[in-house]
Amino acid sequence: MSLLRAVSLILLVMISACSMVDEKKVSDSSKGHWTLEFTWLKNDKPVMIQSFEYASRGECFNAMYTMQQDAKKVRHESGAGLCYKAFAEGQERTANDVLARYR
């Protein structure tokens, strides 16, 4: 039952993060940064939502992972995050928009 609760919570955070994006934010986000929206949870209830900006997708995911690990260190706390970048129509992906760089 605990696994089902965790999966449901992650889906809820992802859906709520998608619903919070407005058009003004989309036009501002197309300037090249990745946004991390991280939700701090205590006893499986949202306590605080923070937003951070990163230059690359990899930096965003690394920061999210670190925050999740830090949140687990405190009793009854956890965290979930969502990294996203709103691409403008016709905007092409760059090397900063991939997780792994191939040599």
CB 99 within 8 A of CB 54: no
Beta strand pairing call for 34-42 and 45-54? antiparallel
Structure tokens at 3: 């696994």
Domain ranges within the chain, ordered by starting residue: 2-18+33-87
Q: DSSP letter for 49, please.
A: E
pLDDT of residue 92: 75
Amino acid (1-letter code) at residue 73:
K
pLDDT of residue 50: 94
pLDDT of residue 89: 74
Give CA separation, 76 vs 49, 68, 69, 101, in Å.
17, 13, 13, 36
Taking the complete model, does pTM exceed 0.85, yes or no? no
Instruction: Give the chain's residues under pLDDT 70.
Output: 1, 3, 6-9, 11-32, 99-103
N-terminal to C-terminal alpha carbon distance within the chain: 43
